[in-house]
């Protein structure tokens, strides 16, 4: 989504990280996605590293489409909230959901596949409600997640939430401010490929791709 916002063409390649392919581990020893390779440059590992690289290489030239503010305090707030959604929300909500409801379906039993664990899902559901309230709190006191302009924090939050929304697990009726922010994010052209994605073996919630939900 960040690459699309910066009008950067990209060829997507799927990596099944649990296979621990040697060729992939040479690109990213952490064995995680996303990884971006540009021209002859080294692999850029992780969403955070990729976003900062986009800012370093294209930020100034992007003008109004820039996803990072100039002011150091404002940059700190964008980074805090990127970390919030990429790490904390991921650990507390989307990672348990993806592991239990998507990965386990596709993974062989020997690699950890099998039936979802209901205690993990219950905790994830509770955490989702807290996070939705916090998200609503942020976008009700200012236009976007980290301030008055859209930023990497909105992209991090929207993509993180989209995973959970795919599974129909975001209780949108509990927070109008969060819902209207997400409707704005969904209508961005950069978000369209995400709405078209399908996880093998798991169908999206019926409202997932609706801009009006």
Q: Is the dihedral of CA 209, 14, 154, 36 positive or negative?
A: negative
Is residue 18 involved in binding a second copy (CB under 8 A)?
no
State yes or no: residue 87 binds a second copy (CB under 8 A): yes
Could you tell me the smallest distance in angstroms from the CB atom of residue 206 to a second copy?
33
Asked whether position 73 contacts a second copy by CB under 8 A, the answer is yes
In the complex with a second copy, the residue whose CB is nearer, 4 or 74, is 74
Nearest to 78 by CA among 4, 170, 151, 187: 151
Nearer to a second copy, 60 or 211 (CB): 60
Stretch that binds a second copy, among 78-86, 114-122, 175-183, 201-209 (CB under 8 A): 78-86
Where in 147-206 is the site for a second copy (CB under 8 A)?
A: none
- Pairwise CA distance, residues 147 & 77, whole Å: 8
Q: Does 95 bind a second copy (CB under 8 A)?
A: no
How far apart (Å, rounded) are the C-alpha atoms in residues 188 and 144?
Answer: 14
Give how far the C-alpha of residue 198 lies from the chain's centroid of Cα atoms, to the nearest Å: 15
Residue 48 lies near a second copy (rule: CB under 8 A): yes
Q: Which is nearer to a second copy, 49 or 111 (CB)?
A: 49
CA distance to 136, 179, 209, per residue, from 133 (Å): 5, 11, 22
């Amino acid at each position: 989504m960040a690459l699309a916002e910066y009008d950067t063409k990209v060829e997507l390649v799927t990596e099944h990280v649990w296979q621990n392919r040697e060729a992939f581990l040479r690109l990213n020893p952490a064995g995680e996605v996303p990884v971006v390779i540009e021209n002859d440059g080294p692999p850029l590992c992780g969403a955070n590293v990729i976003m900062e690289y986009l800012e370093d290489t294209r930020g100034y030239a992007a003008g109004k489409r820039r996803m990072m503010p100039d002011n150091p305090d404002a940059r700190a707030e964008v980074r805090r909230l990127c970390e919030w959604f990429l790490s904390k929300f991921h650990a507390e909500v989307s990672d348990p959901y993806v592991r239990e409801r998507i990965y386990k379906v596709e993974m062989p039993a020997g690699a950890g596949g099998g039936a979802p664990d209901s205690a993990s899902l219950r905790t994830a559901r509770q955490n989702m409600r807290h996070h939705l309230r916090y998200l609503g709190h942020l976008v009700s006191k200012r236009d976007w997640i980290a301030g008055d302009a859209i930023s990497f924090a909105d992209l991090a939050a929207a993509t993180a939430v989209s995973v959970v929304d795919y599974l129909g697990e975001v209780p949108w009726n509990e927070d109008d401010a969060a819902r209207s922010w997400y409707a704005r994010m969904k209508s961005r052209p950069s978000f369209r490929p995400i709405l078209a994605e399908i996880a093998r073996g798991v169908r999206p919630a019926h409202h997932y791709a609706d801009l009006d939900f």
